[in-house]
Chains A and B, each alone.
Chain A
Amino acid sequence: MAELDRVIKPKTKRTKRFLEKREPKLNENVKNAMLIRGGNANATITQVLRDMYALKKPYSVLYKKKNITRPFEDQTSLEFFSKKSDCSLFMFGSHNKKRPNNLIVGRMYDYHVLDMIELGIEKFVSLKDIKNSKCPEGTKPMLIFAGDAFDVSEDYRRLKSLLTDFFRGPTVPNIRLAGLEYVLHFTALDGKIYFRTYKLLLKKSGCRTPRIELEEMGPSLDLIMRRTYLASDDLYKLSMKLPKALKPKKKKNISHDTFGTTFGRIHMQKQDLSKLQTRKMKGLKKRPTEKLIDNQENGSEKNKRRKID
């Protein structure tokens, strides 16, 4: 309850709601993205940012004016924008001779830059160049990362985490199966990353699960990784910290095997095994004559024991 923390109390309910939306919470809001053009952005970069804005609506803000900053040198203006518009993801596009068609993707923690990765765009096909039907805005995309390069180096792993964070959208408990409309596919091959967007077509197959056909829909980019600015390990760990309330509750007496088998423990009192009720097998039941013989034998045994004692 941070509005109880302020020396100046909010006077209207609207202000109070605004402040409550921005304060840190246990379960966080969906991350907003801000798309910024640098001082020397060209038409390609502008179109890329417009397409990303279309993909990420309504959780993104597109800045109309050019902002002359250099994120890798000075992060203060980015942090200021993030504070004003409450956005924790950003994409900054610029173009110069040394780094043509440059796109910096990054995220923030506590309004300070956490990670930033600079990508160069080699080939770009825009949404409006591909004359196919598009899907409505606000749908949750499916994400696929292909290629073993995404696990090899730390840069690529952070890039994977960053791209997931960027394009993921809101976390929902249920999803309408017919509403799975498009998929973003990232392939890492020979130092290049191919970013393709496909629209999903569900076709009939013999069984319940449909057969998939894909149709190229949206922006497609060929990217190469340039500079990176990754957060230090302890800052990253701090940002990943899970609050205690959200940790999965451990259930006692349940353990899991490496193979996935679940084991449970039951604590019982000591049982008298002679009085155990087992299944009655009628064929094995003793006949009355056999019972008699047994009794006689038991009697003689007892006599024998007494003699020894």
Chain B
Amino acid sequence: MEPRSVEEVLARAEQAEAEKLRLITVHKDLELEFDLGNLLAIDRNPPTGLRQRNKSELETRLLGLARDNVQLLINQLWQLPTERVEEAVVAKLPEPSLRLPREKPLPKPRPLTRWQQFAQLKGIRPRKKTSLVWDETSKQWRRRWGYQRARDDTKEWLIEVPGGADPNEDQFAKRLQAKKERVAKNELNRLRNIARAHKVQLPSQGGMHPTGYQSRDELGKAMQVAKLSTASVGRFQERLPKEKPPRGPGKKRQFQPNIGDFATEKKNQLELIRVMNSKKPRMDVTKATNKQMREEDREEAAKKRKIAKGGKRKGRPPGPGAKGKGGPPGPGSKRKGGPPGLGGKKGQRQGGKRRK
């Protein structure tokens, strides 16, 4: 054989390779973008080749374009690592890269239940239990809990009366009652856990749980409820020296019925007309005395302040007659309302409305 140069051999090898790949190579101006996880390919080349005059050839040209694009996608897919799964060649697809919107919102993380918190704290881990337990009485394997469970104490037909129990008590009913209470307690705890997860207030608690940052009203309400929560429902609870009795629930204003006592109604209305007609002004003695007292106190306080200021500036001790309350009593009576005769319509209230 004639010795051939290295270049010729290499060139021939390249040609052979190109020939082999000729059937599957496609030339494109812009490379396609592949998303193999979705089996997606995006071709960004402008489709100028398709815009020819004759409409009838559009389909064939579309077919040609599609064939080229699919060939490129298939080339990419055949590059993926493959494995054999039950006589089929399977390619491992990567994660889809095109992000698409979700159909439902993200699941919210929920807080742990009371038991889960406790278990975490103590380091308790769930133990794997068998699902069936041997039941001696029925001599068969029964489930641990649920329908026809192994040790169901409500289903016993003979119960010995325990030593200290009342002989007339129904032991079967007692067991059924205990079971009902257990079920109710479980349900309550489940609902409490849900309420805690949703941060919803339980209707039974009524917003009373100590946070340390409670308002005056909340504290007052809590105190009232605490006072009522005694065996005698708050009747014998002591009160602080100046604490007022609590305003109980109920009507704060009493209204007379519309059609009631005709005689009293007539009397009241006549009295009203008489008062309106009379020329003399009426005086509410208690109100008058209170107003007077207030004015006097104000005057005295103003004078005191002036003297104190003056004293500070000139360095003089306060003058004679330090105006205490021991001065001569003002006109009119002070504490005990007016002369008992003129009580006024407001009745016999002691001292009237004393201002604070």
Q: Give which listed residue, A9, A110, A144, contacts B105 with CB less than 8 A.
A: A110
Q: Which residues of B contact A136 (CB under 8 A)?
A: none
Stretch among A69-77, A186-194, A275-283 lining the B interface = A186-194
Contact yes or no, A146 B38, CB < 8 A = no
B275 at the interface (CB under 8 A from A): no
- Contact call A164/B40, Cβ cutoff below 8 A: yes
Encode B6-50 as 1/0 by CB contact (under 8 A) with A: 000000000000011111100000000000011111111111001
Query: Which residues of A from 138 to 168 have beta carbons under 8 Å from B?
Result: 140-148, 150-151, 160-161, 164-165, 168
Task: Tell me which of B43, B66, B89, B190 contacts A176 (CB under 8 A).
Answer: B89
**Of the residues B66, B99, B103, contact of A28 by C-beta under 8 Å:** B103
Contact B74 A209 (CB under 8 A): yes
Determine how close the nearest CB of chain B comes to the CB of A186; give it in whole angstroms. Answer: 10
Report which of B47, B85, B194 forms a contact with A7, defined as CB distance below 8 A: B194
Q: Kindly specify which of A93-101, A238-246, A255-263, A291-299 makes contact with the partner chain.
A: A238-246
Interface residues of A in 53-71 (CB under 8 A from B): none
CB-CB nearest in chain B for A32: B103
Contact status B107-A146, CB under 8 Å: no
Tally of chain A residues near chain B (CB < 8 A): 73
For residue A88, which residues in chain B have a CB less than 8 angstroms away from its CB? 103-104
Q: Which of A148, A238, A239 sits near B46, CB closer than 8 Å?
A: A148
Binds B, one of A39-47, A177-185, A264-272, A300-308: A177-185
Known: A24-B104, A189-B47, A213-B67. A180 touches B74 (CB 8 A): yes
CB < 8 Å neighbour of B45 from A29, A146, A164, A216: A146
Docked Cα-Cα span, A236 to B101, in Å, equals 7
Q: Which residue of A lies closest to B99 (CB)?
A: A240
Q: How many A-B residue pairs have CB under 8 A?
A: 194
Is A227 located at the chain interface by the 8 A CB criterion? no
Q: How far is the CA of A207 from the CA of B25 in the complex (A)?
A: 11
Q: Are the CB atoms of B90 and A175 closer together than 8 Å?
A: yes
Q: How many residues of B contact A (CB 8 A)?
A: 60
CB-contact partner of B90 in A5, A23, A176, under 8 A:
A176
Residues of chain A contacted by B104 (CB below 8 angstroms) = 23-25, 28, 88, 109-110
Please report the C-alpha to C-alpha distance between residue A172 and residue B99 in the assembled complex, in whole angstroms: 15
Which residues of chain A are within 8 angstroms of B73 by Cβ–Cβ distance?
142, 144, 183
Give chain B nearest CB distance to A4 CB in angstroms: 7
Give CA–CA (A140, B65) in the complex, Å: 21
Output the least CB separation between A184 and chain B (Å).
10
CA distance A185 to B98 in the complex (A): 17
Q: Does B77 contact A (CB under 8 A)?
A: yes
Interface pair B100/A165, CB less than 8 Å apart: yes
Of the candidates B21, B40, B75, B85, the one having the most CB atoms from chain A within 10 angstroms of its own CB is: B40
Interface 0/1 of A223-260, CB less than 8 Å to B: 00000000000001011111100000000000000000
**Contact A174 B91, beta carbon cutoff 8 Å:** yes
Contacts A5-B110, A183-B70, A189-B47 given; indicate if A177 touches B103 (C-beta within 8 A): no
Q: Is chain B's interface secondary structure helix, strand, loop, or mixed overall?
A: mixed
Contacts of B89 in A (CB 8 A): 176-178
Contact bitstring B179-220, A, C-beta under 8 A = 1, else 0: 000000000001101100110000000000000000000000
Whether the pair B42, A150 counts as a contact (CB closer than 8 A) is: yes
Partner of A240, one of B69, B85, B102: B102
- Chain B nearest CB: distance from A10 CB in Å? 13
Q: Does A173 contact B (CB under 8 A)?
A: yes
Chain B residue contacts of A168, Cβ below 8 A: 38, 40, 100
Chain B residue contacts of A29, Cβ below 8 A: 103
B88 contacts partner chain A, Cβ-Cβ < 8 Å: yes
Residues of chain A with a CB closer than 8 A to B40's CB: 142-145, 164, 168
Smallest CB separation, A143 vs chain B (Å): 5
Contacts of B106 in A (CB 8 A): 24, 26, 241, 243
Q: Name the residue in B41, B63, B106, B198 with the highest tally of chain A Cβ atoms < 10 Å from its Cβ.
A: B106
20 contacts between A and B (CB under 8 A): A5-B194, A109-B103, A142-B39, A144-B42, A145-B41, A145-B43, A146-B69, A165-B101, A168-B38, A174-B83, A177-B82, A183-B73, A185-B69, A187-B47, A189-B47, A207-B24, A216-B59, A216-B63, A240-B99, A240-B100
Can you name 5 extra interface pairs (CB under 8 A) apart from A176-B88, A208-B78, A241-B102? A7-B191, A144-B40, A144-B70, A145-B43, A213-B67
Q: Which of A's residues lie within 8 Å of B, judged by CB?
A: 1-2, 4-7, 9, 23-26, 28-29, 31, 88, 107-110, 114, 140-148, 150-151, 160-161, 164-165, 168, 171-178, 180, 183, 185, 187-190, 194, 196, 198, 200, 205-214, 216, 236, 238-243
